[in-house]
């Protein structure tokens, strides 16, 4: 595969490269964005690798942010206050499977050699229109292959997260994993225990969000031995008849709930946020669907499940491969703005107190009123509800 002669580089990136170049430093576009460009896929911002140290970068640009100075990364803000990452050429010394201590003062080729996969180890000089691809990543992109840079066993031992990254890229681009890389990943999988739950969660979520086929992602997590360590539920219950989720649904919490029977437990293990764990718990609790699709039954169900109605409806669609049968009723109920909670009622607790309802009975009366209104939304007006409340007391 040949390289395009010249890439269309955004002005802010060119400006950063020129500033570094004029000060006597090298500046290259690197990383995932080049890979995505060569794949003809939509891509995000170009990362820049430079021979300048983080200090020198911070001195050259008026506005910078210390994004990851420990690893040599400085964020440079452009005129529009957009942030671009500039990372010093580095070599990783003292890797322990989780962290690295980094050393500057190395060449571009050494910097490319510490990168994980050949497809991620390509560089392009935006001022000289020059390509650098010492590990023939462009050929692997053309062949659809994820291949470790250097000795795969050693590379996975240095950083076990790379096992998850290999699988994620394979599932995202529908690439194969080169057999020696795959064998080394499987052999190193026990080391995944050493990773922090947060890093594993980020990879699991990114994998779900970007995979072309979620089923393939899951089968690779199982086959590599990753699932056994972090999400054994995936193995226990392979859900063979599960339809492939449509491409427009990549919500990681929903997909976790689709794949795992007790998603809240799994998300707690992965140190998900409280909001994510709570969403998962609500999905477990249900009821997963209304007992019938008439408006009253659907309103009662929406009232009961509250904010998880949409999640439950999408989950049903994921499980069955077709739209939930009550989806149309739900849309109509929302269009009509039918009352669904006690606070949607046209009267409040203080109205009931004024009517002479005893304090301890107020809550129950409101619930009874809501029950009537869920059956018949047109009852939700002040006079009607006050009359009903009088009858009830």
The site for Mg ion (CB under 5 A) is made up of 32
Which of 64, 120, 303, 308: binder of ligand ATP (CB under 6 A)? 120
User: Nearest Cα to 86, choosing from 134, 166, 162, 25?
Assistant: 25
Instruction: Provide the minimum distance between the beta carbon of 32 and Mg ion in the complex, in angstroms, as a whole number.
Output: 4
The Cα-based distances of 115 to 68, 109, 240 in angstroms read 17, 10, 36
Instruction: Provide the minimum distance between the beta carbon of 31 and ligand ATP in the complex, in angstroms, as a whole number.
Output: 4
**For Mg ion, the closer CB: 32 or 150:** 32
Helices 214-224 and 179-188 cross at an angle (nearest 10°) of 60
Helical (H) or strand (E) element with 307:
none
**For ligand ATP, the closer CB: 250 or 372:** 250
Query: Are residues 38 and 138 in contact, defined by beta-carbon separation less than 8 angstroms?
Result: yes
Asked if 32 is part of the footprint of ligand ATP (rule: CB under 6 A), the reply reads: yes
**For ligand ATP, the closer CB: 181 or 380:** 181
Cis amide bond preceding 328, omega within 30:
no
d(CA 229, CA 223): 12
Stretch 38-77: interaction string toward ligand ATP, x if CB under 6 A: ----------------------------------------
Q: On the CB side of 232, how many CA atoms lie within 13 Å of its CA?
A: 4
What is the edge-to-edge ordering of all strands in the sheet holding 123-125?
Answer: 64-68, 73-77, 83-88, 47-50, 27-30, 123-125, 130-132
Q: Does residue 71 come out as left (phi exceeding 0), alpha (psi in the -120 to 50 range) or beta?
A: alpha
One DSSP character per residue, 96-157 reads -BS--EEE-S--HHHHHHTSSBGGG--EEETTTTEEE-TT-HHHHHHHTEE-BSS-HHHHHH
Give the one entry of ligand ATP, Mg ion, none that residue 159 binds, where binding means its C-beta sits below a cut-off of 5 to 8 angstroms depending on kind. Answer: ligand ATP
**For Mg ion, the closer CB: 206 or 216:** 206
Which of 12, 28, 31, 152: binder of ligand ATP (CB under 6 A)? 31
Instruction: Provide the minimum distance between the beta carbon of 33 and Mg ion in the complex, in angstroms, as a whole number.
Output: 7
**For ligand ATP, the closer CB: 159 or 178:** 159
**For Mg ion, the closer CB: 32 or 243:** 32
Q: Which stretch binds ligand ATP (CB under 6 A): 158-166, 223-231, 311-319, 352-360?
A: 158-166
Q: Which stretch binds ligand ATP (CB under 6 A): 66-74, 115-123, 140-148, 319-327?
A: 115-123
List residues binding ligand ATP (CB under 6 A): 31-32, 115-116, 120-121, 159, 161-162
């Amino acid at each position: 595969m040949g390289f395009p002669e010249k890439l269309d580089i955004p002005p802010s990136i060119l400006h950063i490269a020129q500033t570094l170049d004029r000060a006597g430093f090298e500046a290259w576009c690197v990383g995932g964005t080049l890979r995505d460009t060569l794949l003809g896929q939509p891509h995000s911002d170009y990362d820049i690798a430079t021979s300048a140290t983080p200090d020198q970068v911070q001195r050259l640009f008026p506005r910078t942010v210390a994004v990851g100075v420990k690893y040599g990364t400085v964020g440079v803000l452009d005129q529009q206050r957009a942030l671009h990452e500039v990372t010093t050429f580095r070599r990783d010394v003292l890797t322990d499977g989780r962290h690295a201590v980094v050393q500057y003062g190395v060449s571009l080729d050494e910097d490319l050699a510490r990168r994980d996969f050949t497809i991620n180890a390509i560089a392009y000089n935006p001022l000289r229109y020059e390509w650098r691809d010492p590990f023939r990543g462009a050929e692997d992109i053309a062949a659809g292959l994820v291949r470790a840079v250097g000795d795969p066993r050693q590379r996975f031992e240095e950083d076990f997260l790379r096992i998850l990254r290999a699988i994620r890229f394979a599932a995202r681009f529908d690439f194969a994993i080169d057999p020696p890389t795959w064998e080394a990943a499987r052999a190193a999988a026990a080391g995944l225990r050493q990773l922090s739950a947060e890093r594993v969660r980020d990879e699991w979520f990114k994998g779900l969000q970007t995979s072309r086929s979620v089923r393939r992602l899951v089968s690779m997590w199982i086959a590599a031995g990753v699932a056994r360590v972090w999400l054994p539920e995936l193995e226990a219950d392979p859900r063979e008849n599960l339809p492939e989720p449509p491409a427009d649904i990549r919500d990681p919490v929903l997909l976790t709930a689709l794949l795992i029977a007790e998603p809240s437990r799994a998300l707690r293990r992965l140190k998900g946020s409280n909001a994510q764990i709570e969403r998962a718990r609500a999905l477990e609790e249900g009821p997963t669907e209304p007992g019938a699709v008439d408006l009253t039954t659907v309103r009662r169900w929406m009232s009961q499940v509250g904010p998880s109605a949409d999640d439950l409806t999408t989950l049903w669609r994921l499980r069955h491969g077709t739209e939930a049968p009550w989806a149309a009723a739900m849309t109509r109920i929302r269009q009509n703005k039918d009352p669904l909670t006690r606070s949607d009622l046209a009267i409040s607790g203080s109205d009931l107190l004024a009517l002479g309802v005893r304090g301890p009975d107020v809550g129950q009366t409101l619930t009874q009123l809501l029950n009537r209104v869920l059956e018949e939304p047109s009852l939700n007006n002040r006079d009607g509800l006050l009359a009903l409340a009088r009858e009830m007391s």
